[in-house]
Structure 1
Amino acid sequence: MKYSYKFSNLLGTFYRSGNLTFTPDGNSLISPVGNRLSVFHLKNNRAETLPWATRCNITCVALTPDGSLGIVVDEEGSALLISIVTKAVLNTFNFQQPVNAVSFSPDGKKFLVCKGSVVLMYHAPGKRREFNAFVLEKSYFGPVDDTMCVDWTDDSKCFAVGSKDMTTWVFSAEPLENAARFSIGGHKEAIVSCFFKDNSLDLYSICGAGTIRIWKSNFELTDLRPRKPRKERPLNEMDVENGEKIRGSVKEEDDDSEKLYYNSNGKHHLNKAGDFTMLTAAAFHKKLRILVSGFANGTFHIHELPDVNLIHSLSISGQSISSITINSTGDWISFGSSGLGQLLVWEWQSESYILKQQGHFNNMVALSYSPDGQHIATGGNDGKVKVWDTTSGFCFVTFTNHTSGITAVAFTSNGQVLVSSSLDGTVRAYSLLRYRNFRTFTSPRLTQFSCLAVDGSGDLVCAGAQDAFEVYVWSMQTGKLLDVLAGHEGPVSSVAFNPWKSVLATASWDRTVRLWHMTDSWRTTETLSITAEALAVTFRPDGRELAVASLDGQITMWDSEKGIQTGSIEGRHDLQMGRKETDKITAKHSAKGKAFTSLCYSADGNALLAGGASRFVCIYHVREQLLAKKFEISCNYSLDGMEEFLDRRKMTEFGSLALVDEGSGVALSLPGVRLGDMSSRHFKPEIHVTSLRFSPTGRCWAATSTEGLLIYSLDSSLMFDPFQLDEEVTAGSVHRTLRKGEWTLALLMAMKLNEQRLLQETLESVPYTDIKVLCSALPESYIERLLVFLAAQIESSRHLQFYLIWAHELLMQHGQKLKARSVSLMPAIHSLQKSIQSHFTELSKLCDWNRYNMRFAICLSKQRGVKRLPEERDSDMDSEVESMADSSKEEEIE
Structure 2
Amino acid sequence: MDDETQNILQLELKAVIGFNGCVPSGLRLHPDKKHLIYPLGNIVMLKGIEDGKQEFLRHSDNVSCISVSKSGSYIASGHISLRGFKAPVIIWNFAERTIYAELFFHTAKVEGVAFSPSDKYLVSLGGIDNNSIVLWNLETKEYICGSPASACSAGFCLTVRYSNSDDNIFTSAGSGTLRVWQLDVARRKIIPTECKTGKLTRIVKCIEISEDDRYMFCGTTSGDILKINMATKILNQHGPIKAKYNMGVNVLKMESGKLLVGSGSGILALCSSDDLKTIRQVQLEKGVTSIDGSKEGKLLFVGTEGAQMYRLNFDDLEAELISTGHVGAVNDIAIPLGTSELFATCSVEDIRVWRVGMPTELLRIKVPNMICNCLDFMTDGNSIISAWNDGKIRVFGPKSGRLMLTINNAHKMGGTAIAGTRDCKKIVSGGGDGEVCVWELLPHTHRLLAIMKKHEALVSCIKIRSDDKECVTASAGGTCIIWDLECFDSLQSVIASTFFKTVCYHPDEHQIVTSGTDKKITYWHVYDGSSIREREGSQSGAINSLDITKDGNHFVTGGDDRLLRVWDYLQGSITHTSMPHAASITCTRICSKNCILISGSADGGIWLWKFPHPLASS
TM-score range, shorter chain: 0.7 to 0.9
Partner SS, residue 616 of structure 2: helix
Give, in angstroms, the shift of residue 399 of structure 1: 0.7
Gaps of 5+ in 2: 1-6, 81-85, 126-130, 152-156
Task: Say whether the 8 Å CA contact 2:308–2:321 is kept in structure 1.
Answer: no
For 1:79, which of 78, 82, 89 is the aligned residue? Answer: 89
1:24 is aligned to 2:31: yes
1:428 is aligned to 2:394: yes
Work out the CA distance in 2 between the residues paired with 1:551 and 1:284.
46
Work out the CA distance in 1 between the residues paired with 2:132 and 2:372.
46
Partner of 2:271: 303
When residues 474 and 424 of structure 1 are mapped into structure 2, their CA distance, relative to the original with a 3 A threshold, is farther
Give, in angstroms, the shift of residue 698 of structure 1: 3.7
Gaps of 5+ in 1: 125-131, 175-179, 217-261, 578-594, 637-687, 717-784, 789-823, 830-894
Task: Say whether the 8 Å CA contact 1:464–1:494 is kept in structure 2.
Answer: no
Q: Deviations for 1:742-783, whole angstroms, at most 9, x for unmatched residues? A: xxxxxxxxxxxxxxxxxxxxxxxxxxxxxxxxxxxxxxxxxx
Kindly tell me the number of residue pairs found equivalent between the two proteins: 575
When residues 71 and 383 of structure 1 are mapped into structure 2, their CA distance, relative to the original with a 3 A threshold, is closer
Q: What letter corresponds to residue 482 of structure 2 in structure 1?
A: R
Partner of 1:94: 103
Give, in angstroms, the shift of residue 268 of structure 1: 2.1
1:540 is aligned to 2:506: yes
Work out the CA distance in 1 between the residues paired with 2:521 and 2:444.
35
Percent identity (aligned): 13
Task: Say whether the 8 Å CA contact 1:211–1:267 is kept in structure 2.
Answer: no
Give, in angstroms, the shift of residue 494 of structure 1: 3.4
Task: Say whether the 8 Å CA contact 1:575–1:616 is kept in structure 2.
Answer: no
Out of 202-211 and 441-450, give the one that drifted further: 441-450
Partner SS, residue 20 of structure 2: coil
> What is the TM-score of this pair, normalised by structure 1?
0.54
1:599 is aligned to 2:546: yes
Give, in angstroms, the shift of residue 291 of structure 1: 0.9
1:332 is aligned to 2:123: no
Give, in angstroms, the shift of residue 310 of structure 1: 1.9
Partner SS, residue 58 of structure 2: coil
Partner of 2:571: 624
For 1:14, which of 6, 20, 27 is the aligned residue? Answer: 20
Q: Deviations for 1:133-185, whole angstroms, at most 9, x for unmatched residues? A: x367x66989865694233435x6664433554232456999xxxxx999573
Partner of 1:120: 135
Structure with the larger RCO, 1 or 2 (CA within 8 Å, 6+ apart)? 2
Partner SS, residue 405 of structure 2: strand
Q: Which of structures 1 and 2 has the bigger CA Rg? A: 1
Work out the CA distance in 2 between the residues paired with 1:480 and 1:354.
40
Q: Deviations for 1:472-513, whole angstroms, at most 9, x for unmatched residues? A: 24458x4554772566633765332345x4454232669563
For 2:10, which of 4, 7, 20 is the aligned residue? Answer: 4
1:50 is aligned to 2:55: yes
When residues 7 and 82 of structure 1 are mapped into structure 2, their CA distance, relative to the original with a 3 A threshold, is farther
1:168 is aligned to 2:180: yes
Partner of 2:164: 153
Higher normalized strand content (fraction of residues) = 2
Partner of 2:128: none
Work out the CA distance in 1 between the residues paired with 2:480 and 2:246.
58
When residues 347 and 563 of structure 1 are mapped into structure 2, their CA distance, relative to the original with a 3 A threshold, is farther
Partner of 1:213: 227
Task: Say whether the 8 Å CA contact 1:142–1:169 is kept in structure 2.
Answer: no
Task: Say whether the 8 Å CA contact 2:461–2:474 is kept in structure 1.
Answer: yes
Work out the CA distance in 2 between the residues paired with 1:105 and 1:612.
41
Task: Say whether the 8 Å CA contact 2:115–2:123 is kept in structure 1.
Answer: no
Higher normalized helix content (fraction of residues) = 1
Q: Deviations for 1:55-111, whole angstroms, at most 9, x for unmatched residues? A: 23323323344545423232455233435566x3243312322655444455x5534
For 1:186, which of 193, 196, 203 is the aligned residue? Answer: 196
Work out the CA distance in 1 between the residues paired with 2:314 and 2:488.
63
When residues 630 and 565 of structure 1 are mapped into structure 2, their CA distance, relative to the original with a 3 A threshold, is farther
Give, in angstroms, the shift of residue 696 of structure 1: 3.9
Task: Say whether the 8 Å CA contact 1:364–1:706 is kept in structure 2.
Answer: yes
For 1:569, which of 512, 515, 534 is the aligned residue? Answer: 534
Partner of 1:825: 616
Give, in angstroms, the shift of residue 289 of structure 1: 0.9
Q: What letter corresponds to residue 528 of structure 1 in structure 2?
A: Q
Work out the CA distance in 2 between the residues paired with 1:374 and 1:85.
35
Partner of 2:154: none
Work out the CA distance in 1 between the residues paired with 2:207 and 2:516.
58
Task: Say whether the 8 Å CA contact 1:104–1:112 is kept in structure 2.
Answer: yes
Task: Say whether the 8 Å CA contact 1:192–1:280 is kept in structure 2.
Answer: yes
Give, in angstroms, the shift of residue 22 of structure 1: 1.4
Partner of 2:427: 462
Partner SS, residue 708 of structure 1: coil
Give, in angstroms, the shift of residue 306 of structure 1: 2.6
Work out the CA distance in 1 between the residues paired with 2:148 and 2:494.
69
Partner of 1:283: 252
1:702 is aligned to 2:598: yes
Give, in angstroms, the shift of residue 300 of structure 1: 5.0
Partner of 2:492: 528
Work out the CA distance in 2 between the residues paired with 1:14 and 1:141.
30
CA RMSD of aligned residues (A): 4.7
Work out the CA distance in 2 between the residues paired with 1:552 and 1:149.
45
Give, in angstroms, the shift of residue 206 of structure 1: 2.7
Give, in angstroms, the shift of residue 38 of structure 1: 3.2
Task: Say whether the 8 Å CA contact 2:41–2:582 is kept in structure 1.
Answer: no
> What is the TM-score of this pair, normalised by structure 2?
0.74
Give, in angstroms, the shift of residue 325 of structure 1: 3.3
Out of 370-379 and 163-172, give the one that drifted further: 163-172
Work out the CA distance in 1 between the residues paired with 2:415 and 2:208.
55
Partner SS, residue 302 of structure 2: strand
1:202 is aligned to 2:220: no
Q: What letter corresponds to residue 120 of structure 1 in structure 2?
A: L
